[in-house]
Amino acid sequence: MPVRIGTRGSPLALAQAARVCEQLQATGVDTEMVIIKTEGDLQTKVPLHEIGGQGVFVRALDDAILAGTIDAAVHSMKDIPAERPDGVSLAAVLQRDSPADFLVHDVELEEVRVIGTSSTRRKAQLQRSSLNAEIQPLRGNVDTRLRKLREGQYDAIVLAEAGMERLGLDLPGTRLLPQWFVPSPNQGTIAVVARDDPELCGMLLPLDHPASRRDVLVERAVMEEVGGGCFTPQGVYCEGGVLLAEVLSLDGSRWQRIEDAAENEEEGRIIGRKLRALAFDLIEEARAYLGTQP
């Protein structure tokens, strides 16, 4: 009986699930792809922070695993919330692709006046930069965002470089260096979550990349300690035990940043607590402005 792999129906989600299925089939495991609709896919005109953040893309797939509709699900790991339901395990973290953001634009960078993104982190980092541009909300899958760019609604849009690579897109623009535009925690990483079953998880284990798992779990530990959810602009990036972590004000005018070594989750938690203390006012400002509760 094939392993049923759940995924969202967007082109990027399907490409990521196809990679997982191909890698599993190479180990001799038969697979079947199952498309699951999520609230985040259905409400594309509403900012993510108003419908529960990136976790809305995961919740429906978790429910399908627990209901027995699918055996496992493929996600961009940055979308997976800190709190996880009982009965679901992080079975594999694939080798990380590029963590960087990419600013897609046809005009010269100096001529960019309107940039599309609905990410509070990306908006704050762009406002902090030397670009003299207005940041306007933009949601939808990659095709939708590119269509709106080509229609002239924006001069530039922000995409994850990893997503572009997975879709085979070669687009004009500017790579945003992770050292300054610190990525979202776990950006560029594909994760496979599965029913908490030893035999099933054993079949998925060959897909796991230990170095990538270590780095993204350090990032996740920092994120969990900082808190603030998707409301607070924050970037966390770890590569080979070297950590960059920052929290920004919503307008990008102020920020707190830590650069340090972090080889494991506990070291990440220590740094996360330190960053939370430094950035407490910024976190509370974001919560108050966006109408959230602690």
CA 49/CA 288 separation, integer angstroms: 13
Nearest residue to 247 via CA among 212, 215, 216, 284: 284
Cβ atoms of 163 and 14 closer than 8 Å:
no
Cβ atoms of 156 and 103 closer than 8 Å:
yes
CA 233/CA 275 separation, integer angstroms: 13
Cβ atoms of 212 and 188 closer than 8 Å:
no
CA 197/CA 181 separation, integer angstroms: 39
Active site residue 62: no
DSSP secondary-structure letter at 41?
H
Helix axes of 265-278 and 280-290: crossing angle, nearest 10 degrees: 70
Cβ atoms of 216 and 189 closer than 8 Å:
yes
Bridge partners, 116 (sequence order):
136, 157
Token digits for 229? 């959810």
Token digits for 191? 């994760």
Catalytic residue among 62, 79, 155, 215: 79
The type of residue at 16 is Q
Q: Active-site residue numbers?
A: 79
